[in-house]
Amino acid sequence: MRTSTARAPAKINLSLGVGSIRPDGYHPLATVYQAVGLCDEVRAGEVADDSVSVRVHSDADQGEELTDVPVGIDNIAVRAALLLREAAGIDDGVALSIRKSIPVSGGMAGGSADAAGALVACDDLWGLHTPKSELERIAAQLGSDVPFCLAGGNAIGSGRGEVISPVLARGSYQWVFALAHEGMSTAKVYAEYDRLVEGTNVAEPEVDDELMAALRAGDAAALGAALSNDLQDAAIFQRPELAETLAIGEECGALGAQLSGSGPTAMFLASDEQHAMDIAVALASAQVAADVVQATGPVVGARLV
């Protein structure tokens, strides 16, 4: 059986500025994304008919099959394969197999990474050579974070997050992530945000100059001080114990500590590898997380392996 395999990275939002809800139900964003080296692997296998299927395994636990990810048409990687073949005017099938390291519903674009990986893997399996601009168009249809998972690196996201422009930046950053036992619904966190800002005047979101200057300079301490996330209060309102998780990283001298996207994953910026290890050990011994992982960023977007 012929196969093509892609790796796709998780994203974090170094800053996440959120505006007032739009008529289409989405929120205007001014965000700075960074792709980090926590990746899902998407394998596209040839099939004899026109069926599109998916199996999802965890990277740990001897590849145990995951039950909290949908496997039918609701699976975003399946939708990616269907949209790509429709755009190409073909009816080839594919058996997708996903090995997940990115937490499910963790605020790190795990589903979006799988969609980006599926686009890259299926494009190769089916020999399509789809132009980059066309892949980006399909990615934007699949979800707000999918274009960034294709691109990787550091980028500014506007629109609902799907309009991205690369950021020239220096440096490689050491991150520690505290993964929660249970995911959170992005839509519910945005709804909580709407409740919290109701009756207030929400400004148009803008990217912070200090954060951009820190990235251009490769200055980890300045970057840590400039991190921000407008969804954090809403996520902590729904999951108050996340405040304790963030406090543990802060006590260890993390250069920055906040939730990733809509949470519940907490992200901590370390000054070097030893410091990252110290933060990871403190989080693990406080038993506030289901798992603690370390990764560096930025990394490239979805790529064939």
Q: Which residues are catalytically annotated?
A: 11, 145
Tell me which of 57, 160, 239, 303 binds ligand C5P, using CB under 6 A.
160
CA atoms within 13 A on the CB side of 97: 12
Provide, rounded to whole angstroms, the least separation between the CB of residue 101 and ligand C5P: 19
For residue 11, state whether it binds ligand C5P (rule: CB under 6 A): no
Stretch that binds ligand C5P, among 22-30, 207-215, 244-252, 285-293 (CB under 6 A): 22-30
Instruction: Answer yes or no: are the C-beta atoms of 260 and 12 closer than 8 Å.
Output: yes
Interaction pattern, residues 282-301, with ligand C5P; x per rule: CB under 6 A = --------------------
Cα dihedral 220, 229, 14, 70, rounded to 10, equals 140
The secondary structure element, H or E, covering residue 213 is helix 209-217
Tell me which of 161, 205, 264, 297 binds ligand C5P, using CB under 6 A.
161
Q: Closest CB to ligand C5P among 29 and 270? A: 29
Provide, rounded to whole angstroms, the least separation between the CB of residue 31 and ligand C5P: 9
Q: State the DSSP string of 165-209.
A: EE------EEEEEEE-SS---HHHHHHHHHHHHTTS-PPPP---H
Provide, rounded to whole angstroms, the least separation between the CB of residue 100 and ligand C5P: 17
Provide, rounded to whole angstroms, the least separation between the CB of residue 189 and ligand C5P: 8
Q: Closest CB to ligand C5P among 125 and 164? A: 164
Tell me which of 26, 171, 208, 277 binds ligand C5P, using CB under 6 A.
26
Provide, rounded to whole angstroms, the least separation between the CB of residue 66 and ligand C5P: 19
For 7, the token pair is 């790796």
Which residues, 172 to 201, sit near ligand C5P by CB under 6 A? 186-187, 190
For 59-121, what is the HEC assignment? CCHHHCECCCCCCCCCCHHHHHHHHHHHHHCCCCCEEEEEEECCCCCCCCCHHHHHHHHHHHH
Backbone φ and ψ of 94, nearest 5°:
-160, 145
For residue 27, state whether it binds ligand C5P (rule: CB under 6 A): yes
User: What counts of helices (H) and strands (E) characterise the chain?
Assistant: 10, 12
Which residues, 98 to 127, sit near ligand C5P by CB under 6 A? none
Q: Closest CB to ligand C5P among 190 and 291? A: 190
* Count of residues near ligand C5P by CB under 6 A: 12
Which of these, 13, 5, 22, lies nearest to 157 by C-alpha position?
13
**Please, is 194 exposed, middle or buried when counting C-beta atoms within 10 Å of its C-beta (0-12, 13-18, 19+)?**
middle
For residue 239, state whether it binds ligand C5P (rule: CB under 6 A): no
Q: Closest CB to ligand C5P among 28 and 93? A: 28
Cα 124 to Cα 7, 127, 303, distances in angstroms: 13, 5, 10
For residue 243, state whether it binds ligand C5P (rule: CB under 6 A): no
For residue 143, state whether it binds ligand C5P (rule: CB under 6 A): yes
The residues binding ligand C5P (CB under 6 A) are 25-27, 29, 143-145, 160-161, 186-187, 190
